Structure 1
Amino acid sequence: MGKFIVGVDLGGTNIKISVFDVNYNKLMELRKATEASRGPGYVLTKIGDMVNYMLENLNIKEDSVYCMGMGIPGLLDPKEGKSYFSPNFPGWNNIEVVKEMSKRFSFPIFIDNDVRVNLYGEWKFGAGVGVNNLVLITLGTGVGSGIVMDGRVLYGATASAGEIGHMNMYREGRPCKCGSSGCYSRYVSAVGIINTFKEKLHQGKNSIIEQWVGNDLNGLSPKMVSDAYDLGDSLAYEVINETAEILGFGLANVVNIFNPEMIILGGGVSLAGDKLLEPARHIMKKHALKVSSNACSLVQAKLGDSAGMIGAAVYASGRIL
């Protein structure tokens, strides 16, 4: 057995890679801009160059590497090592990731969805240690999720189990890139919060944020809404509360369907903390089945943006075993 494991977390903004020993102690970490617009070939070459650089720096030979795991956004087939589609990666269609990476490296390589590798990280080393029934929901630009049930990660028929972000919250709501409308992610994500804020401005409401951005709403961020809330801004208060309410109803559905003992919330939007989580928790408890909701705790993720790297390493080791 090799002595080292590589974990790759491919994001729309950054490529994050760590090299671990077999006990998952981090030996080195490297982050570089993804530059996704330059195409899949460029991105995969860059990942290979980064891995090479790290192994050389650590004086690790290829035959000492046990395996490499890669977390990749979008729809993919983990068994075939193929990525079908990634929404924020131009030209990223039917990419043979494992085949391409295996031209450079002799050790085994495995891919999985980026949120699921985050799940492996939080489950084994973060907020979910020792928990056998849990759901991780990441609230970022969109909404991602991964599910552990009875100690096993759920995949489903097409490895897309747990697309909680596309749960319908309104029969005919905001249009979604998936082709449907009214999806959960269109309301509780970063994009959702910004759209809710803009809709309320168009209704004639006012906010201190207008002064902050000089009336250029392209500069608007969920953190600004959170900061304005802390300053007592009535519109920000309305937006956060409305977001928390929809978040809570969605969480009630998650509790009823999956019966987890823990829901972990991660991603940038979750950093708003209790102002978002407390009302969401209250609604979840009120509207989910009592026995199930009493058994379920709602917590924040612990590992931040390191979860994907260690999770990818854990996942790859598991695939070999």
Structure 2
Amino acid sequence: MEKAILGLDIGGTGIKGGVLVKGHLEDIRSIPTPAHESKEFILETIALFIESYLDYDIAGIGIGIPGLVDVERGEVLGLANIPAFQHVELAKFLQERFFKPVFINNDANCFAIGVHKFGVGKPFKNLVGITLGTGVGGGIVINGHLYSGNYSAAGEWCSAPYLEHNFEHYCSGKFFHAYYQTKPKAMAKRARNGDPEAIKAFEEYGNHLGELIKHILYALAPEAVVLGGSIRKSYPLFEASLKKSLSTFAYPTVLEHVKILLSELDETAIHGAVALVDLEPEVVNN
């Protein structure tokens, strides 16, 4: 039987899985996350979900989580929206249960390595991935390797101070909720129908996102910045203002050679999780 790699995306509302076989992702499944149960109950839920995939010859398991991870130990330090899942030795638990290698990282880091290995980031050795949704996540690939930083916290531009709050406040769905009392998807529909207020909202959003990308360019000067998350689907609505904001970047040569790309992968989180299994031994941590 062909060897398979199992990827899991563990979130506050759902646990999603899929297997990579012969380079193709298949058999996508999902279950609700028992977010308010005990740590032991959650661990058993994850284990039973993995057991449902054991008809495949699983070579390894990769897991992305929305929180901080001790990558070397495979310990989840904290998981967003799951109160009981703090300081959990998830890799050890699963390795003892299934006798398979287990690799865990932050979900935004998984996004970056996923688009690098399987998506539009393939041609680039140095890239940054940014997820735009309920929040903002960032991941960094340097010389073809995922850079996690201490406790998988590299790329957390979301928390960097910006204007009166931080970048996440202005570059995620929180922006539309805070200033227009609506969700980005609803605002995008209005903008596509010619609503002046909605068009203005996305122009402002693009300006803020351009400021975030400029900070990234000053720090890393990557070859590409790949946008993911649900808000990327509205890119035509904020592309012009984003590029106008970027035009003030101090180094035109760097700006001329950076690509702003949209992820085309439907299951980026799972692609990123399976990518950990291949690349984790080469991860640069410090």
TM-score by length of 1: 0.82
Give the secondary structure class of the aligned counterpart of 2:23: coil
CA contact (8 A) 1:136 1:265 kept: yes
The answer to whether structure 1 residue 134 and structure 2 residue 96 are counterparts is no
Cα distance 1:141–1:80, how it changes in 2: closer, same or farther (>3 A)?
same
Give 1:157-306 correspondences, 5 Å limit: 157-170=150-163, 173=164, 182-198=165-181, 220-304=182-266, 306=267
Structure 1 runs of 4+ with >6 Å offset: none
CA contact (8 A) 1:128 1:264 kept: yes
Corresponding residue for 1:32? 31
CA contact (8 A) 1:252 1:288 kept: no
CA contact (8 A) 1:149 1:258 kept: no
Give the secondary structure class of the aligned counterpart of 2:52: helix
Cα distance 1:37–1:242, how it changes in 2: closer, same or farther (>3 A)?
same
Pick which of 106-115 and 282-291 moved more.
Answer: 282-291
By how many angstroms is 1:24 displaced?
Answer: 2.5
Corresponding residue for 1:313? 274
Pick which of 260-269 and 161-170 moved more.
Answer: 161-170
Aligned-residue RMSD, C-alpha: 1.9
In structure 1, how many angstroms separate the alpha carbons of the residues matched to 2:168 and 2:239? 16
Percent of paired sites with the same residue:
27
Match of 1:110, as an amino acid? F
By how many angstroms is 1:27 displaced?
Answer: 4.2
1:198-235 superposed Cα distances (whole Å, 9 cap, x missing partner) = 4xxxxxxxxxxxxxxxxxxxxx3211111111222232
Corresponding residue for 2:53? 54
Higher strand share: 2
1:266-302 superposed Cα distances (whole Å, 9 cap, x missing partner) = 1011111211223112211333521111110111111
* Structure 1: stretches of 5+ with no match in the other structure: 174-181, 199-219
TM-score by length of 2: 0.92
CA contact (8 A) 1:121 1:307 kept: yes
Give the secondary structure class of the aligned counterpart of 1:20: strand
Match of 1:314, as an amino acid? A
Match of 1:144, as an amino acid? G
In structure 2, how many angstroms separate the alpha carbons of the residues matched to 1:186 and 1:255? 20
Match of 2:78, as an amino acid? F
In structure 1, how many angstroms separate the alpha carbons of the residues matched to 2:280 and 2:259? 29
By how many angstroms is 1:39 displaced?
Answer: 4.1
